[in-house]
Structure 1
Amino acid sequence: MTAAAAEPGAEPVRYAYKASLIGSAHQFELTDAGLSWTIAGRSGVWDYADISAVKLSYRPVSMQQQRFRADIDNAKGGRIAILSTTWQTATLIAPQGHLYRDFIIELHRRMQAARSKAVLTAGLGLKTYTAALTLLACLAIAMTGLLLRALATSEWTGALFLVGFAALFAWQVGGFITRNRPRRYSFDHLPNALLPAVVRKQAQ
């Protein structure tokens, strides 16, 4: 799927994903009339100017670390969620990175063309983010205490284990916290950290 120009009669830009193994796919289209969606037997079309908020975030899960999410609200109180991954089997959640990225970028472009006044936010909510930072600080203090005790008692194996665990924890959780820092963004500057990376094809 590639982003189509928002001109009358242009080919709609489509995106679909399965949120679970059970049920049909969530389907979306960017049309001349607006954002068209079909979810669990319900459907609708939201005018781009009526979209009141877009929130982008990074939401990894155990089976798929590269998972992103867009929460979209309209002025009448409706909300839809778009994920960058889709369920294929009971043990496989497949990424749809470039399709998701193209769709989200094109959605923002069409909203801007419609002079949307939507609130554009990125990352976690401020309270959730603050709670996460507090928890991380408590864990860091506890692990530092254990490491110092292991060194003081010459428990080298335990110390190495703590260092390795801390490095792995910082690599996984640190990326989540860094990407999901609460902030505002504009139509001209989408947060690249909250969109799947662009995969460049190597020249043959």
Structure 2
Amino acid sequence: MSSNSYSFRNSALEKGENVYSLTDAGLEISTQGYKDTIPYSEIKKVRLYHDPTRFAMDKYQCDLTLSNGAVFTLKSVHYRGFGDFENRGSAYSAFLRQLHERLKNFPGIIYHSGNNPGCFAGNLLIIIGTVIMVSLALLYMGSSSTIGILIKLGVVVVMLIFSIGYMRKNKPATYSPDHLPEKLLPK
């Protein structure tokens, strides 16, 4: 597919792929028997964020919010089977660059990167709470050996490293369509 179109399948619940195409008339969407062209002027908000899962750590998403409140989500991974996701990051990023190139001609669109502030704060509280709970559990599980203590500390450190990386990528911000946040565009 060219960078003017992008397709992916969300999950086993979908029979086929969602196909998004950039046309002169607007964003053409074809998914599950639904086909429509949305004028670019109807897109009011764009949000780019990293949304890793156990099976797809490299999953990025783009939410497009329309003037009527409808939201369309593009994902950088394609569902192939249970726990099996194909990384389509380079095609996803190329498509988003082309989409932003077209959208920059339409004033009034708000461009967000990362989580919304409430979600970000909630994630931060969950991470802090989880680290405290895991640390307390490891502390009270008991181990008198130095190796046992080091292993426990290692688990907490690894968890913190992954959490900090996730939070850095998803820190709420705005951007312009001329300067997309590279940290949210997979290679």
TM-score relative to the length of structure 1: 0.82
Shift of 1:149: 7.4
Query: Match for residue 35 of structure 1?
Result: 27
The verdict on how the C-alpha distance between 1:75 and 1:165 changes in structure 2, with shifts beyond 3 A counting, is same
Q: Please tell me whether the aligned partners of residues 84 and 100 of structure 1 are also in contact (alpha carbons under 8 angstroms).
A: yes
Distance in 1 between residues matched to 2:32 and 2:107, nearest whole Å: 27
Shift of 1:146: 6.4
Query: Match for residue 52 of structure 2?
Result: 60
Distance in 1 between residues matched to 2:45 and 2:27, nearest whole Å: 13
Shift of 1:175: 1.6
Distance in 1 between residues matched to 2:83 and 2:174, nearest whole Å: 36
Shift of 1:172: 2.2
Query: Match for residue 162 of structure 2?
Result: 172
How many residue pairs get aligned? The number is 186
Distance in 2 between residues matched to 1:148 and 1:92, nearest whole Å: 36
Structure-to-structure mapping, 1:182-201, within 5 angstroms:
182-197=172-187
Out of 6, 14, 23, which is 2:5 matched to? 14
Query: Match for residue 8 of structure 1?
Result: none
Amino acid aligned to 1:16: S
Which range moves more in the overlay, 165-174 or 103-112?
Answer: 165-174
Shift of 1:132: 1.6
Shift of 1:49: 1.9
Shift of 1:138: 2.9
Q: SS state of the match for residue 177, structure 2?
A: coil
CA deviations over 1:81-127 (Å, ceiling 9, x no partner):
100000113341000011000001110110113x2321111111211
The verdict on how the C-alpha distance between 1:150 and 1:92 changes in structure 2, with shifts beyond 3 A counting, is closer
Q: What is the aligned-residue identity percentage?
A: 24
Q: Please tell me whether the aligned partners of residues 135 and 156 of structure 2 are also in contact (alpha carbons under 8 angstroms).
A: no
Gaps spanning 5+ residues in structure 2: where?
Answer: none
Q: Please tell me whether the aligned partners of residues 23 and 40 of structure 1 are also in contact (alpha carbons under 8 angstroms).
A: yes
Q: Please tell me whether the aligned partners of residues 27 and 39 of structure 1 are also in contact (alpha carbons under 8 angstroms).
A: yes
RMSD: 2.2
TM-score relative to the length of structure 2: 0.89
Q: Decide which structure has the larger Cα Rg and report it.
A: 1
Q: SS state of the match for residue 179, structure 2?
A: coil
Distance in 1 between residues matched to 2:137 and 2:78, nearest whole Å: 41
Does 1:136 pair with 2:127?
yes
